[in-house]
Each structure stands twice: as C-alpha cells, then as structure tokens.
Structure 1
Amino acid sequence: MSQPKIDIYTKFGCGYCFRAKQLLDGRNAQYNEFDITMGGAKRDEMLERAPGARTVPQIFIGDTHVGGSDELAALDRDGKLDALLAG
C-alpha cells in the first residue's frame, strides 16, 4: 500500500512548522509543503480545507485534517501516526 498524500501549509520562520516537518521527515514521509507566508491562492485553499484555521502548520494526511504540530505530535505519542501514514 502506498503512503497517502500529505499536505502541510507553513509560513517562513515558523517553529511549529519546523517541528512538524521534522517529525514527518523522521518517518521518511513524503509531503507537499505550501508556504503561505505571503497569503495567496494556497492560503485560500488552506482556509477552504480547514475552515476557521488561522494558525500554521495545517496538516492533511489523506482525507484526514490532522490540525497543527501539537495534534501531529499527539498522534505520534498515542501510537496512531504510523497507521495514518501507512494509509
């Protein structure tokens, strides 16, 4: 089974974004990173996918909106991240 598509919306200089990417990198997870520092179409896309989200990162694994860095870390602590990454 192939890894589900992972999208992460980030901003320049964001420590939480760095932490989330570091966790995904540690799992050798391939992801699409969208820098929304300057706003634009990808920011609008993020807001459409995660209504009410105003912070970054916003992480999507497959059809699941994970949320931010803290939520990603909680999935890891609870032993649920690997299953989600496996599809």
Structure 2
Amino acid sequence: MANIVIYLNKTCPYCTRAKALLDGRALAYQVIDVTGSNELWREMEQRSRRNTIPQIFINDVHVGGCDELYAADRNGQLDQLLNS
C-alpha cells in the first residue's frame, strides 16, 4: 500500500479536486491541514520547495499540486508511483 500525504486546507478548491481523485480511486491518504499553522506550512515548503497548496507526496516522492496529480493519473505515472 502506498504512503500518500497531501498538504492542504479545507477551503481550497484545488485541494478538494485532488482529494476527489484519490477518493475516486479508493486510495488511503494522510491529510496535513496547514490552515493556521506556520510550522506545518514551513514543513510543506521545505519538503516541496513550493508555497502553494495542495502539495502531494507518494512514497516520499513529490508529485506536485492538483494539476500535476491529474496529469500523473492521465499519463500512467500515478500507477507507477503507487506500485513502487
């Protein structure tokens, strides 16, 4: 089973879309809500080198944000990450 982590906040529409893709594939994932937490936001920035949400990691590989997650799903890279 893949270890999936998604940094998000609950009001972000891109976060909701990313979760919808993961939910649609019945994938379990850990949510790290960065809302109101400078410490968690800095952690996300350090791991991803980005300052936007969501940021998604699969087995410690940085996938990127919502658009990158959907692109990875379309081109088969998501399946490769999930099976690695």
Normalising by structure 2, what TM-score?
Answer: 0.90
Contact 1:5 1:31 in 2 (8 A): yes
Deviations along 1:14-64, whole A, 9 cap, x unmatched?
01000000000111111000111112322121112112x111000000021
CA distance in 1: counterparts of 2:66 and 2:42, whole angstroms: 20
Structure 1, unpaired ranges of 5+: none
CA distance in 1: counterparts of 2:51 and 2:20, whole angstroms: 22
Contact 1:29 1:85 in 2 (8 A): no
Structure richer in helix, relative to its length: 2
Contact 1:56 1:68 in 2 (8 A): yes
Aligned residues: 84
Q: Hey, what does 2:51 align to over in structure 1?
A: 54
Equivalent residues in 2 for 1:10-21, closer than 5 Å: 10-21=8-19
Q: Hey, what does 2:5 align to over in structure 1?
A: 7
Which residue identity does 1:9 align to in structure 2?
Answer: Y
Which residue identity does 1:46 align to in structure 2?
Answer: M
Which residue identity does 2:70 align to in structure 1?
Answer: A
- TM-superposed deviation, 1:4: 1.9
Structure 2, unpaired ranges of 5+: none
Moved over 3 A (4+): none
CA distance in 2: counterparts of 1:8 and 1:27, whole angstroms: 15
Equivalent residues in 2 for 1:29-48, closer than 5 Å: 29-48=27-46
